Every structure is written in structure tokens, then in C-alpha cells.
């Protein structure tokens, strides 16, 4: 059981953690990096398979290559938006890969634990879901450490595999930038930018089956 203030820390991290795309030049202390990695490694995983690996990227050359791959993807995606939405999309700062002192490519090895991982046999994608739990742990630990983190998902996996020499059977699940920021967002960036709104939670709750959603659990 947690004490009152410990419990309060868990909720503060959950509610105030933000996705960050702007980093200053302050380096990331090794102790903070280690705490964040340990938190990720203690995530739950299907059949305790722990399918994650962490590629720590500090070389400026490699960071620049990743940023270039992301920028290409952002330009390609912009083509699918039109008019104002396109201008808006291109004005958003979507990655901070060049500036962040450390970027971590978090990967998923679907072969770890052998061919019949308990639980993964029924639902194969539970391996990447486990990696997502690992990333969320890292995010909350980063918040606890006063570290800014951004999850970048604008890239072609094939580019990231090539730049980081990742074998074909390993999934590059996310590029995670870590560092410090002068502007830690108070609200989600896409909410502040009027891109999307937070959904009313009552609209997401159903009772005993999908079609029954009459109650208002949250007043």
C-alpha cells in the first residue's frame, strides 16, 4: 500500500505527463537514464517474455539520420492533408530528435521466450502491447525525474532498421527522445493546438456489453 503522498505522486505523474518535442541542450545525467530504463524493464509482459531492447543513441550523426528519415515521412504524410489542415500539420513541431541529448529506439523481439510464449499464443500482438507498457513506465519515470520525453512515430520502419542495423525480425516500436525542456506542456500539445479534444469519459463507458452505455458514472 502507498502512503497518501506516494499515491498522489502516481496520479500526478499519470495526469501531468506530457509528450515533448522541444529540448534544450542540457545533457541527461546517467543516473536518470538508468532509472528510466529500469522502470521500463519492470513493465508487465505477456508470458513474462520481456520482448524489449533499448538502443541508446547519442551519436549526432545517427540522430541526424533518424531526424532526416522522420522529416521525409512528415512531408509524405502532409500530402494527405488539405488546405488549413495541411498548413497546421506542417506547422506542428513533431520531433526533437536532433536536439534531445538521448534518443532510445525501443524494439520488440517476437521470438524471445521461444515459440509458445504463454498468452502470446492466443493474441500474437501482446508482444508489442508489452513493449508499450514498458514505454509508458519509462514516461512516468521520466516525469518523476523531471525529464522530458517524446514518443516519435513518424518514420518508415525500414529506414529505422537500416540506420540502426536492426535485424528484419525485430520491430522498432518507438523512437523515444529524452532530455530537458524549457516549456513543459500543461496540456497535450494537440489539444493546445486545437487539433483534437479530450473525449468525455462517460462516452467511453459501457455496461456488460457494447450496446449498453446509458449510465453516467462520472457526474
Tell me: does residue 56 bind its own copies (CB under 8 A).
Answer: yes
Cell readout for 25 is: 541542450
Tell me: does residue 26 bind its own copies (CB under 8 A).
Answer: no
Cell readout for 21 is: 518535442
Tell me: does residue 41 bind its own copies (CB under 8 A).
Answer: yes
Tell me: does residue 31 bind its own copies (CB under 8 A).
Answer: no
Tell me: does residue 1 bind its own copies (CB under 8 A).
Answer: yes
Site for its own copies in 86-145 (CB under 8 A): 89, 92, 113, 116, 118-123, 125-126, 128-133, 135-137, 139-141, 143-145
Site for its own copies in 164-183 (CB under 8 A): 164-167, 170, 173-174
Pick one of 83, 168, 209, 214: the residue that binds its own copies (CB under 8 A): 209
Tell me: does residue 190 bind its own copies (CB under 8 A).
Answer: yes
CA–CA distances in Å: residue 109 to residues 17, 49, 118, 197: 27, 9, 15, 35
- φ/ψ of 87, rounded to 5, equals -60, -45
Site string for its own copies, 58-77 (x = CB under 8 A): xx--x----------x---x
Cell readout for 52 is: 524489449
Q: How far is the CB of 25 from its own copies (least distance, A)?
A: 20
Using CA of residue 67, residue 68, residue 70, residue 74, what is the dihedral sign?
positive
Count Cβ neighbours within 10 Å for each residue of 141-161 and write b for 16 or more, e otherwise. bbbbbebbbbbbebbeeebbb
Amino acid at each position: 500500500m502507498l502512503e497518501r503522498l506516494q499515491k498522489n505522486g502516481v496520479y500526478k505523474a499519470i495526469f501531468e505527463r506530457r509528450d515533448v518535442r522541444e529540448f534544450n541542450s542540457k545533457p541527461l545525467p546517467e543516473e536518470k537514464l538508468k532509472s528510466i530504463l529500469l522502470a521500463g524493464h519492470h513493465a508487465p509482459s505477456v508470458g513474462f517474455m520481456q520482448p524489449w531492447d533499448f538502443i541508446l543513441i547519442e551519436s549526432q550523426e545517427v540522430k541526424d539520420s533518424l531526424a532526416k528519415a522522420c522529416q521525409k515521412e512528415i512531408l509524405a504524410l502532409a500530402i494527405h492533408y488539405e488546405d488549413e489542415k495541411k498548413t497546421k500539420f506542417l506547422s506542428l513541431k513533431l520531433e526533437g530528435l536532433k536536439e534531445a541529448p538521448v534518443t532510445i529506439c525501443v524494439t520488440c523481439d517476437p521470438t524471445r521466450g521461444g515459440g509458445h510464449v504463454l498468452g502470446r499464443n492466443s493474441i500474437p500482438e501482446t508482444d508489442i502491447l508489452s513493449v508499450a507498457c514498458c514505454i509508458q513506465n519509462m514516461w512516468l519515470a521520466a516525469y518523476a525525474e523531471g525529464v522530458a520525453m517524446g514518443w516519435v512515430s513518424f518514420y518508415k520502419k525500414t529506414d529505422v532498421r537500416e540506420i540502426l542495423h536492426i535485424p528484419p525480425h525485430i520491430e522498432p516500436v518507438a523512437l523515444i527522445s529524452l532530455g530537458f525542456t524549457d516549456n513543459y506542456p500543461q496540456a497535450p500539445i494537440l489539444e493546445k493546438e486545437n487539433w483534437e479534444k479530450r473525449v468525455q469519459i462517460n462516452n467511453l463507458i459501457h455496461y456488460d456489453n457494447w450496446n449498453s452505455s446509458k449510465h453516467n458514472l462520472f457526474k
